[in-house]
Structure 1
Amino acid sequence: MSQPLEKVLALTNINDITEMVSTYLKKPVVVENDQFSLLAYSSYYIEQFDEANQQTIFTKRWPIPILEKFMEEGVVEQLKTIPGPFHVPPIKDIGLNPRVVVSAKYKEQIFGYIWVQETTPPLTDTQMDFLQKVSVHVGRLLYKENQVKARKDEKKNQFYKKIIDETYRTENQIKWEAANVNVVLPTSFLVTVFMVAQIDEDIFEELTETIRLFVNALNRPAHLFTDELKIIVIIGSNSPASSSLTESADQLTNTILSQYKPQTVYVGIGSEYTSIVDLRQSYLEALRVIHTAEFLGTSSLPAFHYKKMGVFLYLEAIARFNSETDYVNEDLLKLERKDQESQSNLLETLEAYLLNHCRIKPAAEQLFIHTNTLKYRLKQIADLTTIDFNDFNMNAQLFIDLQLMKRKKQAPDR
């Protein structure tokens, strides 16, 4: 065993190990946990850190653009599957210079990563072997730390579940219990819930880990836990003057949905609150959005925020009323028959026109047709039906009935 390796293996502090490895390799070194949060970096070569390393050190984690790029380039998947150190080529888009990285494992589970910025000269085979042996030692140390963290996280998970389940009666009771389990309550917060469209445990586990990575990359406090097949994310702020929580929720939602095929994942975002008693309310609002998406048979809603759902929140109740009263919209049935007979697009045209507040130009742009074509279609609609676009109430009814008609086509047995 070489003397540098022997010295490293005698150390138990991650910062000391990082400095020792950096000194031996004569290169900048960063150590992260399994969620890509910064644990340590070598200070001796700090002036040689590239832009990507500087961002990671500044934010204490991978920013979302870097994480997205690493997923796109397959680096995250390689970290999970390649057993030893491997080379990561430069990625100019995120300011990444050449790297060598190795997963820090223990009992076949990854607990962290050791990143070496490969400045000139490149690492030798001996140095790569040194790095592999160090990773085993680091993996063992991080495993022990992770055991302690897992116990703390479980207490935190149970605490938040009890709030959602209304176990606590008052805000003071919640604050008392938070102090007992060392949970810092956010000044303001909202709840985002993710669910898989099809019950599949493998997809659920993969989705959970992906969301966990991106939650960790947010620039604000957040906590993730699961309850049955629901992935619940509490996004909070400890500063009254902080930027909007909804922006963080949108960023997380859009990033996650971009990683998965359409109709795979349901998302709901509850309202923002300042009293911890309202955590359950924000959670129920997020679930209501998801329930609406399930009812309509589509994960592509006009909005994921409860407060922006508008009339969509009431479609199920309206559908029940329509069923009880045998209501049908005769005008829409006429347009549906016309579309079937002539291969026209009158229903699609009608919806786009209503969505754009009965304005010709934006509706035509949405449909990718000329304004004259749209005017011709609107004349067809007027000739076939009793629709009066100057009647706001009729327009509102048309829009609601259109959504329920689409829902019936997508799920005829429901």
Structure 2
Amino acid sequence: MDKEFHSKDYFNEVYANLDEFAEQVSALIGYPITIEDSNHQLLAYSTHSRITDEARILTIMGRRVPEKVINSLWKEGIIPSLLDSSEPILIHPKQQVGLGKRIAISIRKNDNVLGFIWAALEPESDPSPQALSILKLAAKEAKNQLLLVQTRLKRKEESYQEYFWKLLTGHYGSEKEFRAQLARFPSALPQAYSIIVFQFEQAITPETEKHIHYLINTTQKIQIIFHTIDTDKLIMLCDYTAADASHAISSFIGSFIANMEERFDVKIPTAGFGKSYRQLIDAQKSYTEAMMVISLKKRYKQELAAIFNYELLGIYQYLEPLSQQRASHNELPAGLRILKEYDEKHQTDLFHTLETFLTCNSDPGEASSMLHIHSNTLSYRLKRISEISGYNLKDMNIRAYLYIEIKLTKYG
């Protein structure tokens, strides 16, 4: 490398902050600069020039890259390339997400990516070899400053996690004590919150934890206030203030599970979230409810496949205490027992027909379709079920009772 490409010739000043450094890089290569951490949170940016676009404006206004831009860059394979390479990467315009032409480079310490430098380009221009060389030197120069940022964030996060564990375990005896400790943190708790739990297949490794941090910090679907890890579980406290909070959290859970598998090859079998509460002292309740959702989803995989919200469990949330109550006699009600015995003796399938009919909200059309039989055949079977078991299937109270009893057979 020639003399003009040595770091000391370009970055021989002491910079008061990263913004001054971004201005220096911008002046040297002639393009506006943004500097992000590894989670795409904006750390610094140079002043605007004639080159700007929607993505740059939204990044500066929101202090982080818009989620739609991040998702697009993952789909195009650009972020994986930045994570794997220390070379500058040219990015062509992505008009659908408001992103103009870019050149980007990762800021690294060995194999660990600390952040990124992005330069916005003119649509018809490409950076010169000298600009690319300066950008590579800038990435090396920014390393120490980003290491300091990373250290400060880690200390702050450890403090947050300690407090969060005290919430989950009911460490303090009163709401007043919880509130007094909360005053140490700059971010205020929302008016209503809920606890989310993700159950992983195995213990969460440091590498997986890095991926978790990335997705938590880049999502804009919900606001996550606290998060912590307990062996194979990721636990979060999130804002539940918005009217559509339940839908937003369910959507976030679905995308989080999908992104962990698609981007990082990490499978998360299930997740759930508890009811919303306003008092800090109730965090333990929401956590217990989230864990109950996970427990029930493991038992009723088909029935609860699309359910993450404790409040949408319906009768399933009552199955645990009911199962404990039934354990003393450990047998089906007489009519259902007779129906099972009839099936075994005559090689019929009436018990399954009844379960399907009840699971389909007693809708004959839906039940016939699921059973792959004609509606007349279903009507005949339901009539025989009533005759054999003695239950009046036109009585909603009886149908609810039978539905619970049948589901209880799967609880153990």
Query: In 2, Cα distance between the equivalents of 1:143 and 1:17?
Result: 15
Candidates 15, 22, 26, aligned match of 2:19: 15
Confirm or deny that 1:389 pairs with 2:386: no
CA distance in 1: counterparts of 2:267 and 2:87, whole angstroms: 37
State the partner residue of 2:156: 152
Alignment correspondent of 1:289: 293
Q: Does the 8 A contact of 1:155 with 1:181 survive in 2?
A: no
Deviation larger for 354-363 or 306-315: 354-363
2:62 maps to 1:55: no
User: Do the aligned partners of residues 206 and 392 (structure 1) sit closer, same or farther apart at CA in structure 2, a change above 3 Å counting?
Assistant: same
Unaligned runs of 5+ in 2: none
Compute the TM-score of the two structures, normalised by the length of structure 1.
Answer: 0.81
* Matching residue's letter, 1:49: T
Cα 1:341–1:28 shift into 2, 3 Å: farther
Other-structure match for 2:182:
178
Q: Quote the residue 1:209 is aligned against.
A: 211
Which residue of structure 2 aligns with residue 411 of structure 1?
A: none
The 5-angstrom pairing of residues 12-411 of structure 1 reads: 12-45=16-49, 48-119=51-122, 120-180=124-184, 182=186, 184-196=188-200, 198-202=201-205, 205-206=207-208, 209-210=211-212, 212-218=214-220, 220=223, 222-236=225-239, 242-259=242-259, 264-296=268-300, 300-328=304-332, 329-330=336-337, 333=340, 347=352, 353-361=357-365, 367=370, 373-383=374-384, 386=389, 388-404=392-408, 407=410
The alpha-carbon distance between structure 1 residues 211 and 373, as it changes in their structure 2 partners (threshold 3 A), is: farther
**2-side partners of 1:278 and 1:272: how far apart?**
9
Distance 1:123 1:27 in 2: 9
> 1:168 offset after TM fit, Å?
1.3
- Report if aligned partners of 2:364, 2:375 keep a CA contact under 8 Å in 1: yes
SS in 1 for 2:374: helix
Sequence identity percentage: 19
Alpha-carbon separation, structure 2, partners of 1:166 and 1:294: 27
Query: CA shift at 1:141, angstroms?
Result: 0.4
Cα 1:99–1:359 shift into 2, 3 Å: same
Q: Is the 8 A contact 1:66 1:94 kept in 2?
A: yes
The C-alpha deviation readout for 1:148-201, integer Å capped at 9, x for no partner, is 1211111111011112222212222222222345553333221111111x3244
In structure 2, what is the Cα distance between the partners aligned to 1:42 and 1:402? Answer: 65
Find the aligned partners of 1:337 and 1:90 in 2 and give their Cα distance: 66
Q: What runs of 5+ residues in structure 1 fail to find an aligned partner?
A: 409-413
Rounded Cα–Cα distance in structure 2 between residues aligned with 1:327 and 1:391 = 23
Determine the C-alpha separation between the residues in 2 that align with 1:273 and 1:79: 41
Distance in 1 between residues matched to 2:302 and 2:340, nearest whole Å: 22
2:364–2:378 Cα contact (<8 Å) kept: no
Q: How much has 1:269 moved relative to structure 2?
A: 0.7
Per-residue deviation at 1:207? 6.5
Shift of 1:122: 0.9
Deviation track 1:259-278 (CA, whole Å, cap 9, x = no partner) reads 35698332121221222222
* Change in CA separation of 1:38 and 1:260 when aligned onto 2, cut-off 3 Å: closer
Larger Rg: 2
Matched to 1:252, the amino acid is F
Q: Does the CA contact (< 8 Å) of 2:204 and 2:231 recur in 1?
A: no
Q: Which amino acid aligns with 1:26?
A: G
Residues 373 and 17 (structure 1), Cα distance of their counterparts in 2 relative to 1, 3 Å cut: farther
Going from structure 1 to structure 2, the CA distance change for 1:215 and 1:142 (only over 3 Å counts) comes to closer
Q: Go from structure 1 to structure 2 and tell me whether the alpha carbon gap of 1:211 and 1:255 turns closer, same or farther (over 3 Å shift).
A: farther
Q: Secondary structure at the match of 1:258?
A: helix
Note closer, same or farther for the CA distance 1:288–1:23 as it changes in structure 2 (3 Å cut).
same
Structure 1 residues 78 and 298: CA distance shift in structure 2, 3 A = farther
**Structure 1 vs Structure 2 CA RMSD:** 3.6
* 1:327/1:263 CA distance change after superposition, 3 Å: farther
TM-score (norm 2): 0.81
Does the C-alpha gap of structure 1 residues 363 and 150 become closer, same or farther in structure 2, counting only changes over 3 Å? same
Change (3 A) 1:298 1:316: farther
User: Quick one: structure 1 residues 68 and 374, their matched pair in 2 at CA, closer, same or farther if it must change by over 3 Å?
Assistant: farther
Task: Please state whether the residue corresponding to 1:193 is helix, strand or coil.
Answer: strand
Take 1:243 and 1:301, find their aligned partners in 2: how far apart are those partners?
24
Matched positions, count: 396
